[in-house]
Amino acid sequence: MSRHQQSSSLGPSQEELEEEEAVSGEGDEVMGEAEDGEGYTSSTPTSTLTWISWFCSLPGHEYFCEVSEDFIEDDFNLTGLNAMVPFWKEAMEMVLDVEPDEDSARVPDVSIVEASAELLYGLVHQRYIITRQGLQAMADKYENATFGSCPRVYCQNCYVVPCGRSDVPGLDTVKLYCPNCHDIYSPPSSRFQGIDGAFFGTTFAHLFFQSYRELAPAPFYKLSSSAASSSISPARSPRNASDSGHLEEEAFVNPNPYGGQKRAAGKVYVSRIYGFRVSERAKSGPRMTWLRMRPESPGDLDMVDWRGRWLDEEGGSEFEEDEDEEGGDRPMEDFDPVRTGLK
Amino acid sequence: MLRRAVEELSTGSDSDYSKYWISWFLSSKGNEYFCEVEEDYILDRFNLTGLNTEVTNYSQALDLITDNLDDDIQDELRGSLDVQARLLYGLIHARWIVTARGLAKMLEKYKKADFGRCPRILCQSQPLLPVGLTDIPYEKSVKLYCPRCEDLYSPKSSRHGSIDGAYFGTSFPHLLFLVYPHLIPPKSGPPDITAGASSEGRRVAPGRRAREELEGSVTEGVGEGVSTAAAALKADRYRPKIFGFQVNEIAKLQRWQEAIRDRQVARLEDLDV
The region of weakest confidence among A12-26, A36-50, A251-265, A284-298 is A12-26
pLDDT bucket at A223, cuts 50 / 70 / 90: confident
Torsional sign, CA B124, B125, B126, B129: positive
- pLDDT above 70 covers what percent of chain B? 79
Determine contact: B198 vs chain A, CB below 8 A. Answer: yes
Instruction: Name the more confident of A232 and B66.
Output: B66
Boundaries of domain holding A183 = 147-215
Task: Domain count for chain A, please give it.
Answer: 2
CB-based contact B147:B172 (threshold 8 Å): no
Surface of B (199-228) touching A: CB under 8 A = 207, 210-211, 214, 226-228
**pLDDT over 50 at A112, yes or no:** yes
Which CATH number covers residue A152? 2.20.25.20
In a domain, A46, yes or no: no
Q: Is B141 helix (H, G, I), strand (E, B) or coil?
A: strand
Range of the domain at B56: 21-102
Residue B85 or B70, more confident: B85
What's the pLDDT score for residue A314?
56
Domain match, B129 and B92 both: no
Of the pLDDT bands very low, low, confident and very high (cuts 50, 70, 90), residue B228 is: confident
Share of residues in chain A with pLDDT > 90 (%): 57
Q: Domain boundary at B183, B200, B232, which?
A: B183
Across A167-190, average pLDDT: 96
- Give chain B's mean pLDDT: 83
Residue A10: band (very low, low, confident or very high) from pLDDT cuts 50, 70, 90: very low
Do A161 and A205 fall within a single domain?
Answer: yes
How many angstroms separate the CA atoms of B248 and A343, rounded? 13
CATH assignment of the domain containing B119: 2.20.25.20
Task: Encode B29-91 in three state secondary structure.
Answer: CCCCCCCCCCHHHHHCHHHHCCHHHHCCCHHHHHHHHCCCCCCCCCHHHHHHHHHHHHHHHHH
pLDDT tens per residue across span A224-258: 654 444 444 444 344 443 444 444 456 788 898 88
Alpha carbon separation from B269 to A228, B206, B208, B209, B229 (Å, rounded): 34, 6, 10, 10, 6
Q: Is the pLDDT of residue B212 over 80?
A: no
Considering the domain boundaries, does residue B233 fall inside one? no
Q: What pLDDT shows up at residue A313?
A: 65
Give the number of other Cβ atoms within 10 Å of residue B245's Cβ: 11
Query: Would the CB atoms of A185 and B119 count as touching at under 8 Å?
Result: yes
Q: What is the pLDDT of residue A6?
A: 36
Nearest by CB to A284, from B121, B181, B187: name it: B181
Number of domains making up chain B: 2
Q: What is the pTM of this model?
A: 0.77
Instruction: Provide mean pLDDT across the span B201-220.
Output: 37
* Residue of chain B whose Cα is closest to the Cα of A219: B253
Calculate helix-pair angle for B172-179, B100-111, nearest 10 degrees: 90
At B204 the pLDDT is: 35
Is the C-alpha dihedral spanning A187, A191, A194, A195 positive or negative?
Answer: negative
Is residue A24 in a domain?
no
Domain-located, residue B264: no
Q: Which of A53-67, A151-165, A222-236 has the lowest mean pLDDT?
A: A222-236
Same domain, B32 and B96: yes
At residue B54, the pLDDT reads 92
Once rounded to an integer, what is the mean pLDDT over residues A56-65?
95
Q: Which residues contact A205 (CB under 8 A, 6 or more apart)?
A: A161, A162, A163, A177, A179, B240
Residue A34 has pLDDT above 50, yes or no: no
- Inter-helix orientation angle B2-12/B75-96, to 10°: 110
Q: Give yes or no: residues B25 and B96 share one domain.
A: yes
Lowest mean pLDDT among A20-24, A271-275, B39-43, B248-252: A20-24
Q: Residue B193 — very low, low, confident or very high, per pLDDT cuts 50/70/90?
A: low
Task: Give the pLDDT of residue B215.
Answer: 35
Is pLDDT larger for residue A319 or for residue A199? A199
Residues B94 and B131 occupy one common structural domain: no
The answer to whether residues A151 and A198 belong to one domain is yes
Complex-level ipTM: 0.81
Q: Which residues in chain B have Cβ-Cβ distances shorter than 8 Å to A304?
A: 252, 255-256, 259
Answer yes or no: is pLDDT of B200 > 90: no
The domain boundary, picked from B183, B203, B231, lies at B183
Q: What is the mean pLDDT of residues B138-154?
A: 96
Q: For residues B20 and B202, which has the higher predicted lDDT (pLDDT)? A: B20
- Say what the pLDDT of residue A98 is: 87
Nearest CA in chain B to A210: B247
Report the pLDDT value the prediction gives residue A243, as an integer from 0 to 100. 41
Q: Does B182 touch chain A (CB under 8 A)?
A: no
Q: Is B15 domain-assigned?
A: no
State the Cα–Cα distance between residues A133 and A37, nearest whole angstrom.
15
What is the predicted pLDDT for the residue at A1? 37
Residue B129 lies in a domain: yes
What pLDDT sits at residue B227?
80
Cα(A25)–Cα(A22) distance, integer angstroms = 5
What confidence score (pLDDT) does residue B241 get? 96
**pLDDT value of residue A261:** 92
B173 close contact with A: CB closer than 8 A: yes
More confident residue, A200 or A251: A200
Asked if B126 is an interface residue toward chain A (Cβ–Cβ < 8 A), one would say no
| One-letter amino acid of A84 | M
Whole-angstrom CA distances from A77 to A73, A127, A130, A152, A165 are: 8, 8, 12, 37, 22
Which of A173, A191, A215 is at the close of a domain?
A: A215
* Residue A317, domain member (yes or no): no
Question: What distance in Å separates the CA atoms of residue A327 and residue A309, rounded to the nearest whole number?
Answer: 13
Note which residues in 45-64 of chain B have CB less than 8 A from chain A.
none
pLDDT at A167 over 60: yes
Closest CA to B128 of B26, B33, B30: B33
Exposed (0-12), middle (13-18) or buried (19+): which is A334, by Cβ within 10 Å?
Answer: exposed
Neighbours of A229 (CB within 10 A): 21
CATH number where B97 lies: 1.10.1820.10
Mean of per-residue pLDDT scores for chain A: 77
| In-domain check, residue B147 | yes
Residue of B nearest to A298 (CA): B253
Query: Do residues A120 and A167 both lie within one domain?
Result: no
Find out whether B104 and B80 touch, Cβ atoms under 8 Å. Answer: no
Cα distance between residue A6 and residue A22, in whole Å: 20
Sorting pLDDT into bands at 50, 70 and 90, what band is A333?
very low
Domain match, A107 and A160 both? no
Residue B160, burial from CB neighbour count under 10 angstroms (0-12, 13-18, 19+)? buried
Kindly state whether residue A161 falls inside one of the protein's structural domains.
Answer: yes
Question: Last residue of some domain: B68, B102, B136?
Answer: B102
Q: What is the 3-state secondary structure (H, E, C) of B210-257?
A: HHHHHCCCCCCCCCCCCCCCCHHHHCCCCCCEECCEECHHHHHHHHHH
Q: Is B112 on the interface with A (CB under 8 A)?
A: no
CATH code for the domain in which residue A125 is found: 1.10.1820.10
Q: Which residues of chain A does B257 touch, with a Cβ-Cβ cutoff of 8 Å?
A: 290-291, 293
What is the pLDDT confidence band of residue A317, given thresholds at 50, 70 and 90? very low
pLDDT of amino acid A244 = 40
* Helix residue ranges per DSSP H, A63-189: 69-73, 88-95, 110-128, 132-143
Mean pLDDT of B121-127: 95
